[in-house]
Amino acid sequence: MSVIGIDFGNESCYIAVAKAGGIETIANDYSLRGTPSCVAFSPKNRILGVAAKNQMVTNMKNTVFGFKRLLGRKFSDPYVQKELKHFPFKVEQRQDDGIGIRVNYLGEDNVFSPEQITAMLLTKLKESATIALQTPINDCVISVPSYFTNAERNALLDAANIAGLNVLRLMNETTATALAYGIYKQDLPAPEEKPKNVVFVDFGHSSLQVSACAFNKGKLRVLATSTDAQCGGRDIDMALADYFCQDFISRLKLDARKNQRAFLRLLQEVEKLKKQMSANSTRLPINIECFMEERDVSSEMQRSQMEQICAETFTRIERTMRAVLHNSKLRPEDIHSVEIVGGSTRIPAVKNLIEQVFNKHASTTLNQDEAVSRGCALQCAMLSPAVRVREFSVTDVQPYAVRLAWDATKGEDGDMEVFSAFHAAPFSKMLTFYRKEPFSVSAYYSDQVPYPDTFIGQWHIRDVQPTAEGESQKVKLKVRVNIHGIITVASASLVEKKQDAAQNENIEMENSNENSQGQDAAMDTNGASQDQQQNGPENQEENADDKKDKSKDKTKKVLVKTIELPIDAQTHGLAKHDLNSYVEQEGKMQAQDRQEKERADARNALEEYVYELRGKLSEGEALHDFIAEDNRNRLVNQLDALEQWLYDEGEDQHRQVYSDKLAELRTEGEPIKQRRLEYELRPGALDDFSRAI
Ligand code: ATP
Ligand code: MG
C-alpha cells in the first residue's frame, strides 16, 4: 500500500509518493509530472488530464477547467458569477442553487456537479499513481488553499470520496510547502531556542497565498497567513489578452471577444508570451495563424509594458505580502528567509516585490512546482502506518474567527468567539452548557470570509432531559477545528456527577471524548471542567502540544458518568444519498472508459498487425520469400481492404469485431512468420520450402 500526496491546483496537479528512500514525484501517462486540471467529454468516453487539455480548443463546450474555484459554492454566489464569464462550457443553476456543469457525454446532455468533475480528475490522478507504483492507492493527503472554508473543504472531501480516495488530511498548501522545507533542514534551532521564521509565498494560477512559519528542530508552527483568492497568474494572462484584443480591434478591426475560440487561443498564446517574458526583458513577438475570419495576427510586447498593464495585480501582491507581516506580527528583520513556490513566482516583478517588502532575496530552496505535493506525501506518510518517515510536528492555523451561537432558553441565548483568527489547528475546545431539554448551537465565521454565507453549521443535541430533581443537566460540547481544517461539534456528552467521599478511591477523570479516531484521537486530551453554574457555556481549551499534565491540575476527584448524546448535524457537504448515487455514477463512467479503452486498444492492435504484416510482405522485406506469390498477392489485397475498412465502417465497431478479425488474420500471418523462424533456426529450410511450392 502506497501513501501519496496530491497538489490539486487550479491549473495543474502533482502527485508525490513517500517511500523508504524519500519522496518522489509521479509522472503521468504522458511522462509529465504536472497533470492539467482539465476534464473533457466525448461521444465515447471521458478524457482526463493532459489529453483533455490537448483537445480543448476543438472541444471547447465539453472541456471543463477552473472547477477548483466552484467547489462548495452556490450558483448565485457573486464569486461564481464572475468565474462563469470566462468559461466556454455551460454552467447552470440547479434547483437548490447548486452548480450544474452541462456537457455532451456519450451523445447526450449530462449535468455534473463540481464535486463530480473534481472526482473525475482525482480518479485520473489515482490511476496514474496506481500504474506508476504498481500498488493499490487508497490513503492520501490532498492540498487545499488555506483560505478554503468549511463548505469548500467538505466539497473536496466528497469529491475524494466519489473517487474512492481516503483522505487522511486536507492540508493547507502553504503548510505542505513549509513541511517539505522543514523536514530536511539540518540547521533548525533547538526546541527551546528562538525559532527560525520563514515566509512562504505561493503564487499560482488563480490565487496568492503567503504564510509565516516558525521552525524549531522537529517542528513547525504556522504563525499567520494572508491570501488573495482573486489574484493569480491567470489575471496577468487576462490583462494581456485584453490588451491584445484592444490592439487587434484598433489595428485590424478584429474583435476576439466575439469569438470564443479565438479568445481561448489568444489566452494560450499570451500565457506562453508571459513565460518567455520571465526570462527575457526585450521585445517579444506574438503570432497567431488563422486567428479569426481566416486572418493571421501578430503583435509584440516587452516586460516593462506587461508590468504596466498588470499594475493592479502587482499592487495586490504587495498588499498581501505586507498583510502577512501584520498578521504574524513579524518585522522583516525577524524573518530568516522568504521561500517561493508556484509557477507565477517565476515572474521577475514578483521577486522584486518580495525584496521590497521583506528586504530579502526570494529564495528557491524548494522545487517550485512540486513542493506542495511533496509536503502532502510527507504528511500522508506520517499519518499512515504503512511508511515510516522522520517525525515532524505541524501546527497549522485556521484563518478566520469562528463564533458559536446558541438558542434562547431562559434568556441564556448568546454567542461567543470559539476560535480567534489564526488560532492553532487542529484544536478542540470543550464548552459546558446546562440544559433541561434538547438544544441547538450554530457556528459562523465572524470575519470577512471570501464567501457570501458565513454559516458553518447547526448541531442539534438530542436526548437532554432534566435530572430526577428537575434540575438542568451538564452537557459538554466538543467544538473542534479538525485535521482537515473543518469546524464541527465533534461530540456532546451528558456529565452525571456524584461527589461521594466514601468512594474516593474510585476516582474517574472526566474524559473529553472517546469516539475520535486516528489523528483526531491524538489531539484529544483528558480535560476536566469546573462545576459551576453559569449562564453561558464554559470554555476549556485542549491542544495536543500541551497534552501532558494539564488535566491533573484541574481534575477534581469526583465520580463521573459520561453519556454520549446523539447529535443531528446540519452542515455543508453532500447528503448521503447524493453521494451514493455519485459514487455509483462514477463507477459506471469508469467502466465505460475502460470499455472504450479496450475497444480502442483492440482496434489499434488490428491496425498495427495489418501494417506490420504488409510491410514485411513487401519486396526485400523479412517475409516476402516465405509465401507463394499468388497467396502473397491475395493476402496483400486482403490487408489493403482491411485498412480501408478500419477507416470506414470499421472505425467504430465492438471490441470483439476487431479481435475476431485479428485472430483470423493471424491464422494467415503467423504460419508465414513461423516458416521464417524455422528457416533462421535451420538453414536449408528455405530450399525445402521452395521445392514444396
Ligand atoms: P493554484 O495554486 O492557483 O491553484 P496551480 O497550483 O495550478 O494553481 P501553478 O502550477 O503553481 O498553479 O502555477 C501556474 C501558473 O504559473 C500559470 O498561470 C502559469 O502561466 C504560471 N507560470 C508558469 N511558469 C511561468 C513563468 N516562467 N513565468 C510566469 N508565469 C509562469
Ligand atoms: Mg498551487
Strand partners, 352: none
Q: Which fold has domain 400-574?
A: Substrate Binding Domain Of DNAk; Chain A, domain 1 (2.60.34)
**Residues sharing a CB contact under 8 Å with residue 470, sequence separation 6 or more, in sequence order:** 436
**131 has a pLDDT exceeding 60:** yes
CA 381–ligand 1 middle distance (angstroms): 27
Specify whether the CB–CB gap between 675 and 626 falls below 8 A: yes
pLDDT tens-digit map of 308-353 = 999 999 999 999 999 999 999 999 999 999 999 999 999 999 999 9
**410 has a pLDDT exceeding 80:** no
- Classify the C-alpha dihedral 303-351-398-145 as positive or negative: positive
**pLDDT classification of 507: cutoffs 50, 70, 90:** very low
- The CATH 1.20.1270.10 domain(s) of the chain lie at 577-692
pLDDT at residue 503, as a whole number: 39
- Ion ligand 2 nearby residues (CB, 5 A): 9, 204
Grid coordinates standing for 576? Answer: 448521503
Phi, psi at 65, each rounded to 5°: -145, 175
The residue whose CA is least distant from atom 17 of ligand 1 is 205
Q: Which ligand approaches the C-alpha of residue 350 most closely?
A: 1
User: Which is more confidently placed, 242 or 521?
Assistant: 242
pLDDT at residue 692, as a whole number: 56
CA 597–ligand 1 middle distance (angstroms): 32
CA 336–ligand 2 middle distance (angstroms): 23
Q: Is the CB of 344 under 6 A from ligand 1?
A: yes
Grid coordinates standing for 612? Answer: 506490420
pLDDT at residue 429, as a whole number: 95
Radius of gyration of the CA atoms of the chain, in A = 31
Grid coordinates standing for 204? Answer: 499560482
**512 has a pLDDT exceeding 50:** no
% of the chain beyond a pLDDT of 90: 80
Residue 542, Cβ neighbours under 10 Å: how many? 21
Strand partners, 691: none
Q: Is the CB of 10 under 6 A from ligand 1?
A: yes
pLDDT at residue 510, as a whole number: 35
CA 317–ligand 1 middle distance (angstroms): 15
Closest approach atom of ligand 1 to CA 37: 7
Q: Is the CB of 524 under 6 A from ligand 1?
A: no
pLDDT at residue 453, as a whole number: 84
Specify whether the CB–CB gap between 461 and 477 falls below 8 A: yes
Q: Is the CB of 9 under 6 A from ligand 1?
A: yes
Grid coordinates standing for 603? Answer: 482496434
* Amino acid residing at 391: E
**Residues sharing a CB contact under 8 Å with residue 438, sequence separation 6 or more, in sequence order:** 460, 461, 462, 463, 464
CA 8–ligand 2 middle distance (angstroms): 7
pLDDT at residue 343, as a whole number: 97
CA distance 432 to 554: 15
Helix, strand, or coil (residue 132): helix
Q: Is the CB of 527 under 6 A from ligand 1?
A: no
Tell me the best of 205, 206, 277, 313 to mutate to test the pocket of ligand 1, counting ligand atoms within 8 Å of each CB and taking the most.
205
**97 has a pLDDT exceeding 60:** yes
**523 has a pLDDT exceeding 70:** no
Strand partners, 16: 5, 25
| Average pLDDT over every residue of 240-267 | 94
Q: Is the CB of 345 under 6 A from ligand 1?
A: no
Grid coordinates standing for 521? Answer: 484521537
**Residues sharing a CB contact under 8 Å with residue 631, sequence separation 6 or more, in sequence order:** none
| Average pLDDT over every residue of 239-250 | 96
Q: Is the CB of 232 under 6 A from ligand 1?
A: yes
| Average pLDDT over every residue of 13-30 | 92
CA 172–ligand 2 middle distance (angstroms): 10
What is the per-residue DSSP string for 310-365?
A: THHHHHHHHHHHHHHHHHHT--GGGEEEEEEESGGGGSHHHHHHHHHHHSS-EE--
- The CATH 3.30.420.40 domain(s) of the chain lie at 2-231+313-394
Options 3.40.50.2300, 3.40.640.10, 3.30.2010.10, 3.30.420.40; CATH of 2-231+313-394:
3.30.420.40
Q: Is the CB of 278 under 6 A from ligand 1?
A: yes
CA 341–ligand 2 middle distance (angstroms): 8
Q: Is the CB of 207 under 6 A from ligand 1?
A: yes
CA 148–ligand 1 middle distance (angstroms): 19
pLDDT at residue 408, as a whole number: 61
- The CATH 2.60.34.10 domain(s) of the chain lie at 400-574
Which of 135, 96, 130 shows the shortest CA–CA distance to 113?
Answer: 96
**Inter-helix orientation angle 371-383/173-182, to 10°:** 80
Q: Is the CB of 66 under 6 A from ligand 1?
A: no
Q: Which ligand approaches the C-alpha of residue 345 most closely?
A: 1
CA 205–ligand 2 middle distance (angstroms): 7
Q: Which ligand approaches the C-alpha of residue 13 most closely?
A: 1
End-to-end CA distance of the chain: 59
**466 has a pLDDT exceeding 70:** yes
Q: Is the CB of 271 under 6 A from ligand 1?
A: yes
CA distance 269 to 377: 34
pLDDT tens-digit map of 159-182 = 999 999 999 999 999 999 999 999
Task: Please report the ipTM that was assigned to this predicted complex.
Answer: 0.99
pLDDT at residue 529, as a whole number: 34
Tell me the best of 32, 238, 274, 372 to mutate to test the pocket of ligand 1, counting ligand atoms within 8 Å of each CB and taking the most.
274
pLDDT at residue 448, as a whole number: 73
CA 494–ligand 1 middle distance (angstroms): 51
% of the chain beyond a pLDDT of 70: 88
CA distance 140 to 380: 6
**370 has a pLDDT exceeding 80:** yes
pLDDT at residue 387, as a whole number: 82
Q: Which ligand approaches the C-alpha of residue 11 most closely?
A: 1
Residue 158, Cβ neighbours under 10 Å: how many? 25
In the predicted model, what is the mean pLDDT of the chain? 89
**Residues sharing a CB contact under 8 Å with residue 637, sequence separation 6 or more, in sequence order:** none
pLDDT tens-digit map of 46-90 = 999 999 999 999 999 999 999 999 999 999 999 999 999 989 999
pLDDT tens-digit map of 178-229 = 999 999 899 999 999 999 999 999 999 999 999 999 999 999 999 999 999 9
Grid coordinates standing for 537? Answer: 457555556
Helix, strand, or coil (residue 204): coil
**133 has a pLDDT exceeding 80:** yes
Q: Which of 264-278, 408-422, 479-493, 662-676 has the lowest mean pLDDT?
A: 408-422
Write down the CATH number for the domain with range 577-692: 1.20.1270.10
**pLDDT classification of 451: cutoffs 50, 70, 90:** confident
Which of 388, 385, 342 shows the shortest CA–CA distance to 367?
Answer: 342
pLDDT at residue 495, as a whole number: 87
CA distance 196 to 217: 10
**Residues sharing a CB contact under 8 Å with residue 423, sequence separation 6 or more, in sequence order:** 397, 398, 401, 481
Specify whether the CB–CB gap between 503 and 521 falls below 8 A: no
Q: Is the CB of 205 under 6 A from ligand 1?
A: yes
The residue whose CA is least distant from atom 27 of ligand 1 is 275
pLDDT at residue 683, as a whole number: 65
* Amino acid residing at 216: N
Tell me the range of 224-228, 516-520, 623-627 where mean pLDDT is highest: 224-228
| Average pLDDT over every residue of 575-585 | 97
Q: Is the CB of 33 under 6 A from ligand 1?
A: no
With helix as H, strand as E and coil as C, how does 7-31 read?
EECCCEEEEEEEECCEEEECCCCCC
**540 has a pLDDT exceeding 80:** no
Helix, strand, or coil (residue 492): strand
Q: Could you give the angle at the alpha carbon of 330 between the alpha carbons of 329 and 335, nearest 5°?
A: 165
CA 539–ligand 2 middle distance (angstroms): 37
Q: Could you give the angle at the alpha carbon of 625 between the alpha carbons of 623 and 629, nearest 5°?
A: 110
Helix, strand, or coil (residue 603): helix
Specify whether the CB–CB gap between 109 and 153 falls below 8 A: no
> Cis (ω within 30 of 0) for the bond into 566?
no
Q: Is the CB of 204 under 6 A from ligand 1?
A: yes
Tell me the best of 11, 121, 267 to mutate to test the pocket of ligand 1, counting ligand atoms within 8 Å of each CB and taking the most.
11
Q: Which of 245-259, 270-284, 485-499 has the lowest mean pLDDT?
A: 485-499
pLDDT at residue 415, as a whole number: 87
